[in-house]
Amino acid sequence: MTQPMLVAERVSKAFGDVRALEDVSLTIGEGEIVGLVGSNGAGKTTLLRLLAGVYRPTAGSLSLGDGTDVAEGRRQLGVVPEATGLYSRLTAWENIRYHSRLHGVPDDVAWTRTQHYARLLDMLPYLGRHTKGFSRGMRQKTALLRALAHHPSMLLLDEPTAGLDVTSARTVKQLVRSLGDEGKTVIYSTHQLAEAEQVCTRIIIIHNGEVRADGTPEELLALTQTASLEEAYVALSSDRARSVDEAEKPLSAWSRRWRGLFTPRTPTSTEVSEDE
């Protein structure tokens, strides 16, 4: 393996009674493009938020390759959350510049880098526009430019192609591959196995908060004795996926009772069949 960029040792994260992540250990090297693959609620976003320093682990430790705690080493990270997080009353460039300034990067340096990547993403003509009218693809590309403007060594991308049209998704995937070629480490969450296979050099399958497999596509096939990644995924996540949003606080007893007063009772399957 290349020089380690990120080390997670026995990391767990709990929200109240819900164990969102359980005993995750990973070492991610420089230049790797790692795909985090899992169903909704598997723990991908929780892991990315832990890596971004937004959440603190309940147990275990997370550090960058040089031993710095991730929360302290955020300057090395570029983050694209699933919601993109753009301010609609600011232009694309203002959004990018705002984050760059908080990273301590001078405006002229950020502008030069932004121009470079904006050319690759066909976003140059739109940098001066307010993001309010941007399509999902343009928002995603702007968020990518924002994450790259301070020259991070590692990128955390939460479902960067979700909701994008084919052309935009292709452009984003090409950029991610070229970032890997530049030596940047990319951690890429998706629930599209085919996409992970196209883009990533390594795939981590997360299911119900646990790492079920970690390796190259070939290694996963060998591990599961299957012919395709889809079959491998099914074999590794055969137990029923949980349906809870791990970070959502459960309703209090009072709220549950109050809401129940205004919620009609859903008929049981027996009642429905009797009516029929």
Partner 1 sequence: MSERRRRVTTIAKKELVEFVRDWRTIVAILVIPVLMFPVLFILFPLLLQAEAEELDSLVVRVELQANDPPSMLLHALEQPGIDLVVVELPALENLTDATSDVERLRAGQLDALLRVRANNSTWEYATLHLSTSEQSNEARARVLSAVADWERNETTTRIESAGLNANNTLNPVVWNGSIADADAASKGEQAGLALSLFIPLVLAVWTFSSAIQPSIDMTAGERERGTLEALLGLPCTRMELLLGKWLAVATITAAGVLLQIAGLIFAIGYLATSDIIAVPSLSMAVVLLLCVAVLLFAITVVAIELALAMRSHSVKEAGSVLGPAVLLILFPALFTQVINLDNIEMFWFAIPVVNVLLALRELLLNRVVLSHVAVWFLSSALYATLAAVYAARQFKREDIVTTLS
CB contact at 8 A, 224 and 236? yes
We find the least distance from the C-beta atom of residue 105 to partner 1, in angstroms, to be 11
Cβ closest to partner 1, residue 11 vs residue 229: 11
We find the least distance from the C-beta atom of residue 183 to partner 1, in angstroms, to be 21
Angle at CA of residue 151, ends 116 and 26, nearest 5°: 130
We find the least distance from the C-beta atom of residue 212 to partner 1, in angstroms, to be 25
Cβ closest to partner 1, residue 16 vs residue 267: 16
CA–CA dist 148, 145 (Å, integer): 5
Cβ closest to partner 1, residue 23 vs residue 94: 94
Q: Is residue 148 involved in binding partner 1 (CB under 8 A)?
A: no
Of 25, 248, 256, 259, the residue at the interface with partner 1 (CB under 8 A) is 248
Of 116, 245, 251, 255, the residue at the interface with partner 1 (CB under 8 A) is 245
Find the distance separating the first CA and the last CA of the chain, reported in whole Å: 62
Q: Name the region of 162 (left: φ>0; alpha: ψ -120 to 50; beta: rest).
A: beta
Q: Is residue 107 involved in binding partner 1 (CB under 8 A)?
A: no
We find the least distance from the C-beta atom of residue 186 to partner 1, in angstroms, to be 15
CB contact at 8 A, 160 and 188? yes
Q: Is residue 56 involved in binding partner 1 (CB under 8 A)?
A: yes
Which residues inside 173-212 make contact with partner 1, applying CB under 8 A? none
CA-closest candidate to residue 124, choices 116, 133, 134:
116
Q: Is residue 114 involved in binding partner 1 (CB under 8 A)?
A: no
Cβ closest to partner 1, residue 240 vs residue 249: 249
How many residues of this chain bind partner 1 (CB under 8 A)? 36
CB burial class (10 A; 0-12, 13-18, 19+) of residue 84? Answer: buried
CA–CA dist 85, 5 (Å, integer): 26
Binding letters toward partner 1, positions 74-103, x by CB under 8 A: xx-x-xxxxxxxxxxxx---x---xx-xxx
Q: How many C-beta atoms lie closer than 10 Å to residue 253's C-beta? A: 8
CA-closest candidate to residue 92, choices 120, 133, 52:
133
We find the least distance from the C-beta atom of residue 86 to partner 1, in angstroms, to be 7
Q: Is residue 247 involved in binding partner 1 (CB under 8 A)?
A: yes
Sign of CA dihedral 152, 146, 100, 70: negative
CB contact at 8 A, 50 and 11? yes
We find the least distance from the C-beta atom of residue 49 to partner 1, in angstroms, to be 7
Of 29, 53, 60, 215, the residue at the interface with partner 1 (CB under 8 A) is 53
Q: How many C-beta atoms lie closer than 10 Å to residue 126's C-beta? A: 19
Q: Is residue 243 involved in binding partner 1 (CB under 8 A)?
A: no
Which residues inside 128-147 make contact with partner 1, applying CB under 8 A? 143, 146
Contact footprint for partner 1 (CB under 8 A): 15, 49, 52-56, 74-75, 77, 79-90, 94, 98-99, 101-104, 143, 146, 156, 245, 247-249
